[in-house]
Amino acid sequence: MLTLTAKLKSASIVAMAVAALSATPALADDITLWTLNFDNNAANVALKKIASDFEAANPGTHVEIVQRAVDEHKTALRVAAGSDKGPDIYFSWAGLGLGGEYVKAGLSLPLDKYYTEYKWNDELLPSAAAFADLYPGGKRGVPFTFKGEAVYYNKKLFEQAGIKEEPKTYEDLLAAAEKLKAAGIPAFTFGGTVNWHVMRLMDVILETKCGADKHDALKAMKVDWTKEQCATDAFAEFAKWTKDYTLQPFMGIDNKQSYSLFTAGRAAMMLEGDWLVGQLDGSGANLDDYGIFPFPTNTDRLYGFAEYNYVSTKSKSPDMAAKFLDYFLSDKVQQDLVGQISSISVNKNVKYTNQKPLEAEWLDIFKKYSNVYMNGDQAFPLDVTTEYFRIINEVASGNVEPADAAKQLQSFIASRT
């Protein structure tokens, strides 16, 4: 049984707690970041450390990080969009696809004044920062990570086929593929069940055949796919690559099976992102056996996509949100983050030491290119992406003729309401 003193103490504690709760207003400098629960736990730990370091540097400020799985995150953002609650900063992909939807729905605050105030363009990799300019009405978001995609090749298989150097032009690549075919080696491996994997091949061929401006206009659906001969040519070229220069069968396997086939030496090349270096290293592969080169499109643009952090239009503290993003992007924080969130920082002032040769090659690639073209599933709205996947798969399976492919895609685009 409690004594009177104990009862009084308990009552006092409860009263104090109630008083404290009722008297504490929501701090104006509280900010919330909604992001993903990353598979790479080092990224989760690093994010929490950044938040606590920022709080220490800005007394009275509290940064709450809410992490969710991909689908839950998307759903939470949609629910938040319909209410006045939500995060100050949210993670999403860059581009007109998924990230663009939130921008279009008015969920993303233009950040032009913060770009000027914090001089973000002086510290960001141009290729990573370019995505902020995709939207009308100002700059949206800042880069969180930037992923480049290029051709990984098996050096031994290249040697076996008599290929002496990395292809510099599209014609060189075609010649290399032909040599590989003559040597009985499939040039590429893809996984067809995950539509986006084969889509990469179509994207790079479209860039090659149509050039940068036309490619962008096609992806932005500003020109007619049936009236641009290059689009039909790209589908025809894509059909040729999937028929003649791709490890068969590929429509029934996924990207992971495709990766296993690549590391088993069943195909000479794979069109993958910079993250594959870590994957190869982690699986015990000898990195010296592999080389990389950007898919030669002859347009001087790098194939890639970015993940961004956006400031919400519903944020009560946009200034503090921008300050936090500035802290995140700062040279010091990004230097400390190397290898934890991504192998390559979005900050161009970061110094890299003890890099593996493939990582160093990637860094050179990132520094070389200032323009990017993005993956089809990031560029198109979601419904068009789904149809783009279907048509690509039909062409790859030989069920739809290239001219008809362009016609079907345009017909779908035209019928959108």
Partner 1 sequence: MSLRQTTHDPRTQAFILLVPALVIYAVFALYPMLNVVFLSFQKWNGLDANRQFVGLANYTAIFTRDPVFWVAFRNTVIWTLMSLVFPPMGGLLLALSLNQKIFGRNSLRAIFYLPVIIAPIAVATMWKWMYDPFFGLFSQMLTSWGMQAWIKDWLGNKDIALYSVFVAYIWQTVGFSMVLFLAGLQNVSLTLVEAARIDGAGRFAVFKHVTLPALRPTITIVLVLSIISSLKAFDIVYGLTGGGPAQSTQMLALWAFTQAMQIFDFGRGAAISVVLLLITMAVVIPYLRWTQKHEEVES
Shortest approach of partner 1 to residue 311 CB, angstroms?
17
Q: Which of 347, 352, 308 shows the shortest CA–CA distance to 327?
A: 347
Size (the chain), residues? 417
Structure tokens at 326: 């500035």
Residue nearer to partner 1 on the CB measure, 94 or 391 = 391
Structure tokens at 358: 């493939």
- Identified binder of partner 1 from the candidate list 82, 136, 184, 282, rule CB under 8 A: 82
313 counts as binding partner 1 under rule CB under 8 A: no
Backbone φ, ψ for residue 344 (5° rounding): -115, 130
Q: Which stretch binds partner 1 (CB under 8 A): 51-59, 222-230, 255-263, 278-286?
A: 255-263
Q: Which stretch binds partner 1 (CB under 8 A): 120-128, 260-268, 269-277, 362-370?
A: 260-268
CA dihedral for 120, 91, 193, 411, sign (positive or negative): negative
35 counts as binding partner 1 under rule CB under 8 A: no
- Identified binder of partner 1 from the candidate list 53, 336, 394, 401, rule CB under 8 A: 394
Size of the site for partner 1 (CB under 8 A): 37
Residue nearer to partner 1 on the CB measure, 58 or 260 = 260
DSSP string, 139-192: -B-EEEEEEEEEEEEEHHHHHHTT--S---SHHHHHHHHHHHHHTT--SB---S
Residue nearer to partner 1 on the CB measure, 81 or 363 = 81
Shortest approach of partner 1 to residue 82 CB, angstroms?
5
- Identified binder of partner 1 from the candidate list 40, 116, 229, 399, rule CB under 8 A: 399
Instruction: List the interface residues with partner 1, window 88-127 (CB under 8 A).
Output: 101-102, 105, 107
408 counts as binding partner 1 under rule CB under 8 A: yes
User: Distances from the Cα of 413 to the Cαs of 181, 205, 219, 388, 400, in angstroms?
Assistant: 37, 21, 11, 10, 18
Q: Are the C-beta atoms of 238 and 205 separated by less than 8 Å?
A: yes
Shortest approach of partner 1 to residue 106 CB, angstroms?
9
- Identified binder of partner 1 from the candidate list 37, 349, 370, 386, rule CB under 8 A: 386
175 counts as binding partner 1 under rule CB under 8 A: no
Shortest approach of partner 1 to residue 318 CB, angstroms?
20
263 counts as binding partner 1 under rule CB under 8 A: no
Residues 6+ apart with CB under 8 A from 118: 322, 326, 329
- Identified binder of partner 1 from the candidate list 37, 67, 160, 193, rule CB under 8 A: 193
Other beta carbons within 10 Å of 265: 13
393 counts as binding partner 1 under rule CB under 8 A: yes
59 counts as binding partner 1 under rule CB under 8 A: no
Shortest approach of partner 1 to residue 146 CB, angstroms?
25
DSSP-derived pairing of the beta strands 62-68 and 142-154: unpaired
Q: Which of 213, 205, 193 shows the shortest CA–CA distance to 232?
A: 205
Structure tokens at 309: 């952090």
CA dihedral for 244, 245, 251, 253, sign (positive or negative): positive
Interface positions with partner 1 (CB under 8 A): 71, 78, 81-82, 101-102, 105, 107, 192-195, 248-253, 257, 260-261, 266, 382-383, 386-387, 389-391, 393-394, 397, 399, 408, 412, 415, 417
